[in-house]
Amino acid sequence: MTSDPISQSDYERLYYVRKSGDYPEKGTAEWSAWCVLERRVARAHMSNQREREALHEAGHAVVGYYLGRHLTKITQKHTHFADTPTLPWEVDHIVKVAGHVSEEMTFGRVDPSKDEASRLAWEFRKRRLMSNESTTHQECRAYVEEREARAQAILEEHRSAVEAIAKRYQERPPSTFPFERDELLSLLDDVPSGNFN
């Protein structure tokens, strides 16, 4: 059993292969290596799964609230916001990456199936193509990294709120979800809202 760290390029390969369906041919050396990589990633993320999920949803909640999204509830798998059509679409992109950024601040890279950065790069590329504008992989990565940096700055500034929500998330039995808005707001007392500029 290998204990080698899982690299950024390994995670990106996992995401893009899963997204495209372009798997290696079964029975080949490439297929065997692919299976080993998938098992390594699964093992790496089975431990501390509950804490990962808690930090992930807390990250979405804190960043969304800070940027002016109307937070409504947190379920075990999603953070819900009411529609806020007056906010620029870039706000949604910062909120989208906040979950995995929050996880990464504690655990390092996330499972590629939960990696909003890769999905956001695809979304950015599609938006550019719909506007008849071409874009490169480097431009997509730069766009995503700017949003990740903004999310991380907010999460670092309001780490105590992230930890309070994550702690409450982990303490709750599954039958007591979702968190409703009033309970969430009580944990966000020190976080100002509506700070997109």
Domain spans of the chain? Answer: 8-46, 49-187
Distance (Å, whole) CA 197 – CA 178: 31
* Model-wide pTM > 0.95: no
Distance (Å, whole) CA 79 – CA 59: 9
Residue 3 carries which side chain, given as an amino acid letter?
S
Question: What local confidence, expressed as pLDDT, does residue 113 receive?
Answer: 52
Residue 95 carries which side chain, given as an amino acid letter?
V
Residues of the chain with pLDDT under 50: 1-3
Assess if CATH 3.40.366.10 describes domain 49-187: no
> Which of 137, 104, 133 has its CA nearest to residue 118?
137
Question: What local confidence, expressed as pLDDT, does residue 167 receive?
Answer: 92
